[in-house]
Amino acid sequence: SQQGEEDPQALSIQEGENATMNCSYKTSINNLQWYRQNSGRGLVHLILIRSNEREKHSGRLRVTLDTSKKSSSLLITASRAADTASYFCATNTGGFKTIFGAGTRLFVKA
């Protein structure tokens, strides 16, 4: 069973617009991470947010975490064509496993 599930499955926006992706999970977590995957490549770590944090920023990325709703969101501001990729959330429950969701495919039109 999947711990993290992203929403929407796919998103198409114009360059310059903001993109928001959501992740819901089922059990209590130690931390939640977001990764990006360009077509045909490995995943690249973007940002990690711990269970006791509510918001985190990194450049044009903003991640929020609501542990009461078991959900997180990733906001990419002022999107660029180069942001076109799949985005995955991954949760860790404190053990050795990290569980990935199915991902959101983002397409940014120039």
Residues of this chain that bind other proteins (CB under 8 A): 2, 4, 30-31, 33, 40-45, 48, 88, 90-92, 94, 96-103
- Alpha-carbon distance of 107 to 91, in angstroms, equals 24
- Alpha-carbon distance of 56 to 54, in angstroms, equals 7
User: Minimal distance in Å, beta carbon 8 to other proteins?
Assistant: 14
- Taking the least distance from each CB to other proteins, the nearer of 12 and 30 is 30
User: Minimal distance in Å, beta carbon 83 to other proteins?
Assistant: 19
- Taking the least distance from each CB to other proteins, the nearer of 74 and 103 is 103
Provide the sign of the torsion angle of the four alpha carbons 41, 45, 51, 55, taken in this order.
Answer: negative
- Alpha-carbon distance of 91 to 75, in angstroms, equals 18
User: Minimal distance in Å, beta carbon 44 to other proteins?
Assistant: 7
